[in-house]
A and B are shown apart, each in its own frame.
Chain A
Amino acid sequence: MAVVESILRFLVLLLSFFGTLALAGLGLAVIFGIMGIINFAHGEFIMIGAYSTSIAYGAGLPLVGAIVVGGLTTGAFGLVVERLLIRHMYDRLIDTLVATWGLSLILTQAVQIQFGGTFGSIPVPFGTFQYAGFSASMYKIVLGLTALGLFAGTYAVFTQTTYGLQARAAMQNKEMARSLGVDTGRIYMLTFAFGSVLSGIAGGLFAPLTVLTPTMGSEYIVEAFVTVIVGGTNVLIGTFGAALSLGLIQTPASQLFGTLGGRVALLVTTILIIRVLPEGISGVVTSD
């Protein structure tokens, strides 16, 4: 019995860490994988998703609907950012990074001025999951499963839609894609918006589990960064593999050394992994 309990405890914790890492990283990974740029305001995109989810929830929408609103709002915001800012810097990778960092400062402060230090929270839905002496928040399990669902959805977008096909073409060979008539500018615009939607959904999903503050984005950005570093440029396999393997490290580390120990373990693992796999998990699966 005790063995079953500790296995369950491990699995539920793993699922929840996997979910957090995958959700935090997926939006960033889509933009990085296709466009090759890092959105430093990624944490603030998650924050916008969480805030707009909370507003929609407060207006009476059910949580699922509110999260959809959060995703779409963040997507629309991402579209504006892409048109105003990113578009001018397609060939200046480090400048995009720096400019989005400036954006992150502005967003954090603007939200602070507009909404103050904290914002309306959302109660954790679904109650708890009970087995013998073991209980866990059902929502954390749902979080992990939703992350799997988002992977499936992203996979479908990249394999089943024209956009997905063209996006993969633009990623593999931009010049060739252009000469075959793919409007890469439009693809990048849609990619940034798509990545933003994913970040917004992640923010909405995180909203019930955290305190909504203007700086909440920096709570998730380390998770997002290490997931992308370990995952590499392959959006799906890389990010999935990274979230799973980092989750497998974080789970026992946090059981042994507490939450902080788990997060330090994430960073240390990442630093060790790059020594062996500079291109992350993508370097293994797409070795040529």
Chain B
Amino acid sequence: MTDAGGPGAIARLRDLLEGQNTLGNSTRFWYGFLVVVGFIFAYPFLTNPFVLKVNTDYFVWMILALSLAVVWGYTGIFNFGQTAFFGLGAYTFGIVGITLIEVTGGTNVAILAAIVVTMIVSALLGYFMFYGQIRGLYVAILTLAVALTGNLILVRTTNTTIGAAELGGNNGVTGIPSLTLGGGPLSFPLGITAQYYLVALLLVATYLGLRILLNSYYGYVLLAIREDEDRTRMLGYDVRKLKLIAFSLTAGLAGFAGALHAAWGNFIDPTVMGLTAASVPIIWVTVGGRDTLIGPLVAAYALQSISTKLSTVGSGYTNIFLGAVFVLVVLFFPDGLIPAIVARWRERTADGHDIDRSNTTEAEA
């Protein structure tokens, strides 16, 4: 990922990417990272289009996991309705995409619309929550109530059309266009492999971008808000505004992921805003470790793969499995599995230093 020339450029880049707010600051980590990214990009040569298609969606879910990790894990805003924004993005993409299906570059507009609409809606909701200064648990149940009410509205949209799109109630929106890059004579629709590469690239870019954000000054302020809101306010920060911005930006990211999901499946239905759907990202982030980025990524991929396998076997036990993993991790590894593994691994290696998991993520220098 670093074609930036000499060692000086790499050092500067690492300086931006690394810090005590994210796991993985050693040279060894970056070698591992390059190996994984290399494997992801070599994967199309090793497997069939079906597996690629499935993996593309996993990558989309991983972007959603990242958005929740930042807003919940790092900023301490209990946004339990992140799927409302994911679903809103997906529906917006579907509606705009279908309406502009004849227009070249229509899907680019649709992606943009998905991000803008989710950011506006989340900013409105965020304004009332954060400027009303409601407390943590209220945010959790209010955001979930928003998602569930969204589901209720979407279920009742049989025979409703917006633009050229038929919302279709429980049956969902069908015929959503796939992504087309560029516009005019330079536009080209993306095949399965190209979509895979695009989404993989977006995922890597999102991960690295969020690492830069979290290790920047703004990232430290977000963590300060999570650790002690009152003290942060007394230090002169406008906590309400900062929370609103974080909430709205991560909602926009979730809406973006939703748009990618709708483009991926050419379909979206109201279950994305249901109670089960809302719990799934929460499970990834909790199981992976909510104050890391890498944890939710790994957990999202692993749990989605296992869920898919379980449901293809035809057992009805997927949710029981997810629920049980969820409850057990919360009981025994409240900080998540990846931080627990990292802590254990550091204890074993001779140069391990004391890890105080109750505080912020300890960095390996």
Contact = CB atoms under 8 A, between A and B. Distances in A.
> Are A and B bound to each other?
yes
A85 interface: yes
Contacts of B327: 85, 99, 102-103, 106
A260 B282 CA distance: 27
A38 B141 contact: yes
A271 B334 CA distance: 31
Given A92-B334, A221-B275, A109 B319 contact: yes
Given A274-B138, A274-B142, A106 B156 contact: no
B131 interface: yes
B275 A215 contact: yes
A270 B275 contact: no
B32 interface: no
Contact of A222 (B128, B149, B276, B324): B149
A38 B137 contact: yes
A119 B281 CA distance: 30
A100 to B, nearest CB: 9
How many of chain A's residues touch chain B, expressed as a range?
35 or more
Contact of B275 (A102, A104, A106, A271): A104
Interface in B323-339: 323-327, 330-331, 334
Interface string B268-284: 00000011100100110
Nearest to B144: A225
Given A275-B132, A278-B135, A102 B149 contact: no
A109 B320 CA distance: 6
Contact of B153 (A226, A264, A270): A264
Given A99-B330, A103-B327, A106-B324, A229 B153 contact: no
A270 B138 CA distance: 11
Contact of A38 (B129, B134, B140, B325): B140
A135 B350 CA distance: 80
A208 B136 CA distance: 36
B137 A105 contact: no
Nearest to A108: B319
B141 to A, nearest CB: 4
Please indicate which of the listed interface residues B131, B140, B283, B330 has the most CB atoms of chain A within 10 Å of its own CB. B330
Contact of A225 (B128, B141, B316, B319): B141
Contacts of A215: 275
B134 A98 contact: no
A140 interface: no
Nearest to A106: B323
A123 to B, nearest CB: 27
B144 A218 contact: no
Interface in B291-332: 316-320, 322-327, 330-331
B137 A97 contact: yes
A276 B140 contact: no
Interface in B142-163: 142, 144-146, 148-149, 152-153, 156
Nearest to A37: B137
B92 interface: no
A227 B142 CA distance: 11
A139 interface: no
B78 interface: yes
Given A38-B141, A93-B137, A98-B326, A274 B319 contact: no
A123 B330 CA distance: 41
A61 interface: no
B331 A229 contact: no
Interface string A110-128: 1011000000000000000
A85 B331 contact: yes
B133 interface: yes
Interface of A: 32, 37-38, 43, 85, 88-89, 92-95, 97-99, 101-106, 108-110, 112-113, 215, 218, 221-222, 225-226, 228-229, 260, 263-264, 267, 270-272, 274-276, 278
